[in-house]
C-alpha cells in the first residue's frame, strides 16, 4: 500500500510543481495521471482525490478547455455538493461557454455555500 501512496503523492506533488512553473499542459497531464492512480485508502483519500481533480480542472481552464474542465468540476460537485471552489470554477467555465444562466446558478450556489459556512462558524 505504501507504494500506492508514494505514487499518488509523488505524482500530485510533481503536478503542483509543474503548475507553479506555469507548465500548464504538463501539469494537466500529470494531474490526470494522479487522478487515474487514485489516492491510497485512508481518511484523506476523498480530499486528496478531489484536490487532484480540482487542480486538473484548473489547468484545463487555463488552457481554455472549458467543456473538459466543466465536466471535472461537475464530477467534484456530484461527490461534494459544498465544494465552493469547484462551483466557482464551474461558473467560470459556463461563462466562457456563453452559458450565462448556468454561470449565474453557479455563482448563486457559491454565495449560498459561503453564507452557510458563515452561519455555521458563528454558532
Task: For residue 50, give Cα distances in angstroms to 41, 57, 105.
Answer: 14, 10, 22
List, for residues 78-92, the tens digit of each pLDDT value: 999 999 999 999 999
Which residue would you say has higher pLDDT here, 6 or 22? Answer: 22
Residues 37, 8: contact at Cβ < 8 Å? yes
The pLDDT, as a whole number, for residue 6 is 54
The torsion of the CA quartet 22, 62, 75, 2, rounded to 10 degrees, works out to -10
Query: pLDDT (tens digit, 9 = 90+) per residue, 13-65?
Result: 999 999 999 999 999 999 999 999 999 899 999 999 999 999 999 999 999 99
Per-residue confidence at 114, pLDDT binned at 50, 70, 90? very high
Amino acid at each position: 500500500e505504501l507504494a500506492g501512496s508514494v505514487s499518488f503523492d509523488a505524482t500530485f506533488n510533481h503536478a503542483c510543481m509543474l503548475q507553479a512553473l506555469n507548465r500548464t499542459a504538463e501539469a494537466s497531464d500529470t494531474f490526470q495521471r494522479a487522478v487515474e492512480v487514485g489516492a491510497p485508502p485512508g481518511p484523506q483519500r476523498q480530499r486528496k482525490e478531489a484536490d487532484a481533480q480540482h487542480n486538473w480542472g484548473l489547468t484545463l481552464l487555463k488552457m481554455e478547455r472549458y467543456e473538459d474542465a466543466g465536466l471535472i468540476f461537475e464530477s467534484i460537485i456530484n461527490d461534494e455538493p459544498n465544494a465552493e471552489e469547484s462551483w466557482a470554477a464551474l461558473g467560470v467555465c459556463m461563462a466562457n461557454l456563453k452559458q450565462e444562466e448556468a454561470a449565474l446558478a453557479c455563482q448563486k450556489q457559491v454565495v449560498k455555500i459561503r453564507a452557510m459556512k458563515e452561519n455555521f462558524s458563528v454558532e
